Structures are given as C-alpha cells and as structure tokens.
Amino acid sequence: MLQVGIFGASGRMGSLLIQEVSKDENLQLSSVYARDNIQELYAQNLPVAKTIKDFLDSCACIIDFSSKEGSLELMQTAKNHHIYKPMVIGTTGFSQEEFDMLQALSTHCPILYASNMSMGVAILAKISAIVAQTLKDSDIEIVEYHHRHKKDAPSGTALTLAQACAEARGLDLQKVRVSGRDGIIGARSKDEIGVMSIRGGDVVGKHNVGFYLDGEYLELTHNATSRLTFVKGAICALKWLAAKPNGIYTIQDSLGLNA
Ligand code: NAD
C-alpha cells in the first residue's frame, strides 16, 4: 500500500482526492494538510497533520493541489528538513523563478508537475504542436474558460498549450504571448500567440486552440466536464511516479506520449 499525503485537502480538488484515494485499494490516505476549513477535515476523522513537517513525515508520497504560496511552503519545508518524497504537483500559477525552485527540488526526489492532469489535454498539447508546425502561416489564438473562483490567469493549461505551440515554431513564448487587446493596437503580428481568459459560472475548464489562416481555420477544443478527470489523472500519475528516479516529469511522460 502506497501511503499518500494530500496537500490542500480541504479544497475543491483536495476533497475529491480524499474520496478517490480512500476508495483505492492500493493507496492509503496517511496525512492531509490544509490552511482553511480544518475543522471539516477533523470532523471526517481524517489524519490531519498540524505542521507541514508532520505532514511530510507521515506519508510516502504527496499529491498537492493547493495554492502557489502553499506549494512553495511545502517545497521549502521539504528542503529545510531534508524530507524528500515523490510529489505530484497540480497547483498552478508559478512564476519562472518559482518553477526553478521546483526543478531544484527534483534533484532530490521525483516530481511530476502538470498544469492539467487530464489525458485529453496531454494529447491536445501534442496535437497542437504538430498543427503549429504544419500550418506554419496560421495565427495561433488560445482561449480558456474557467469558473468564477479561479485565481490565476491565463490558466496554467493555456500557458502549457501556448508553450507547446511556441516551441514547435522555435519561438520564445515570453516574447510572443499577447494576453489582452484593447484600443488602437494595430495589425496582428505574424508570430504573436494570443492567450485569452474568460471567467464565469461553474465552468470546470475549457481550452480552445485555434489556427487561423486565410480561407479556413482549425479549432481544437478540450472540455473538462468534471474535476474527477484531474483527480483520476493525478492518482494515475502518482502510481507511475512513485518508483521513478529523481527528476522532473510531465503528464506526457506518464502517458508514454514522449516516447
Ligand atoms: P481551492 O481554493 O478550492 O483549495 C485550495 C486548498 O489549498 C484548500 O484546502 C486550502 O486550505 C489549501 N491552501 C491554500 N493555500 C495554502 C497554504 N498557503 N498552505 C496550505 N494549504 C493551503 O482550490 P482548487 O480549486 O482545489 O485548486 C487548487 C489548485 O489546483 C489551484 O492552483 C488550481 O489552479 C489547481 N488545479 C489544477 C488542476 C490540474 O489538473 N493540474 C485542476 C484543477 C485545479
């Protein structure tokens, strides 16, 4: 039995993870940690850790869906106390420097980071790269839709999809990304990649990658209809990661899409 710790346990994702890990006969929920609504976790008789160090000590591997600040605290505590466990990280919103910290930690333990744990999005990223390269004159515009509570924009997934397209064209995404247009902005430049965000209602997550040409356009759309898809993806990824050597991995690695 793999002893799993869930970080961010009282959130939308954390609550579903608790349900699914508890149902899995190969996994045992050995510690949970959260910043908010802790009383609800105690009320369910869950193994609530009082400190992040206790949380790390009480599990063999970790799934983290919390907040940028929470993930960074988790990583810093692991580093300070030299407690290194395989980690699946689904939290989004990291800056490049913060992502570098995650990368540095992965020299001590295997880490799988995915801004989207669904199989469909992993395949969408792969296909988008092929289309970006093949339809090389197309204008690439990505639109993402999420529920009104989402804190970061554009979504980590939209940035991952944009990165896949930019890499396929040999472009630096930092230089070509446009995430808002207003006023007399002039004509669209050839290389720019638009990444736009819509927020509203209870939309779990929709991503549309469009390739616009003269006379035709191709749009590839992924719709997440339930958060369970991310939860199941994260659990599958954890089982795959648990025995891997130290290093940083992607969801594509766990699905064999990089082979
Ligand atoms: P949420 O706000 O519902 O829950 C956040 C959880 O993290 C809560 O339990 C909260 O107490 C805890 N938390 C927040 N800050 C903390 C801190 N500093 N220390 C400890 N715990 C802290 O959020 P959510 O909708 O469950 O999403 C969580 C994260 O996962 C977000 O970054 C979201 O974008 C991301 N997400 C990723 C995927 C994916 O497939 N990778 C899918 C959905 C959501």
Mean pLDDT for the chain? 96
- Give the residue from 154, 145, 157 showing the smallest Cα distance to 200: 145
Q: What is the CATH number of the domain that holds 33?
A: 3.40.50.720
- Give the residue from 76, 55, 68, 67 showing the smallest Cα distance to 3: 55
Confidence label for 120 from pLDDT (cuts 50, 70 and 90): very high
Consecutive H or E run containing 157: helix 156-168
Is the confidence at residue 63, as pLDDT, over 90?
yes
Confidence label for 259 from pLDDT (cuts 50, 70 and 90): confident
Q: What is the CATH number of the domain that holds 143?
A: 3.30.360.10
Contact 197, 177 (CB under 8 A): no
Minimum-distance ligand 1 atom for the alpha carbon of 121: 40
Marked catalytic residue, from 79, 126, 150, 239? 150
Mean pLDDT confidence for 46-69: 98
Cβ(6) – ligand 1 distance below 6 Å: no
Is the confidence at residue 55, as pLDDT, over 80?
yes
Other beta carbons within 10 angstroms of residue 132's beta carbon come to 23
Is the confidence at residue 65, as pLDDT, over 90?
yes
Same domain for 92 and 11: yes
pLDDT, residue 258, reads 81
Mean pLDDT confidence for 153-157: 95
Cβ(160) – ligand 1 distance below 6 Å: no
Query: How far is residue 210's CA from residue 17's CA, in Å, rounded to a whole number?
Result: 32
Same domain for 173 and 137: yes
Measure CA 47 to chain center. 25
Confidence label for 76 from pLDDT (cuts 50, 70 and 90): very high
Same domain for 85 and 13: yes
Cβ(11) – ligand 1 distance below 6 Å: yes
Same domain for 87 and 190: no
pLDDT, residue 215, reads 98
Mean pLDDT confidence for 230-255: 96
Q: Is 115 annotated as a binding residue?
A: yes
Same domain for 244 and 204: no
Same domain for 247 and 214: no
Is the confidence at residue 223, as pLDDT, over 90?
yes
Same domain for 29 and 77: yes
Confidence label for 173 from pLDDT (cuts 50, 70 and 90): very high
Sign of CA dihedral 115, 118, 124, 129: positive
Distance 8 CA to ligand 1 centre (A): 6
Consecutive H or E run containing 98: helix 96-105
Angle between helices 228-241 and 12-23 (to 10 degrees): 60
Q: Which domain holds residue 206?
A: 119-224
Q: Would you call 160 exposed, middle or buried from its count of C-beta atoms within 10 A (0-12, 13-18, 19+)?
A: buried
pLDDT tens column, 195-213: 999 999 999 999 999 999 9
Same domain for 71 and 195: no
pLDDT tens column, 178-196: 999 999 999 999 999 999 9
Contact 3, 56 (CB under 8 A): no
Query: How far is residue 181's CA from residue 202's CA, in Å, rounded to a whole number?
Result: 25
Minimum-distance ligand 1 atom for the alpha carbon of 69: 18
Distance 125 CA to ligand 1 centre (A): 23
Considering only CA atoms, which residue is closest to atom 25 of ligand 1?
12
146 is catalytic: yes
Cβ(10) – ligand 1 distance below 6 Å: yes
Give the residue, out of 7, 35, 98, with the most ligand 1 atoms within 8 A of its beta carbon, to mutate for a pocket test: 35
Strands 205-212 and 139-146: antiparallel
Minimum-distance ligand 1 atom for the alpha carbon of 14: 26
Is the confidence at residue 242, as pLDDT, over 90?
yes
Query: Which are the contacts of 128, defined by CB distance < 8 A and separation ≥ 6?
Result: 161, 164, 165, 168, 209, 220
Q: Is 227 annotated as a binding residue?
A: no
Angle between helices 228-241 and 119-134 (to 10 degrees): 90
Cβ(106) – ligand 1 distance below 6 Å: no
Number of domains within the chain: 2
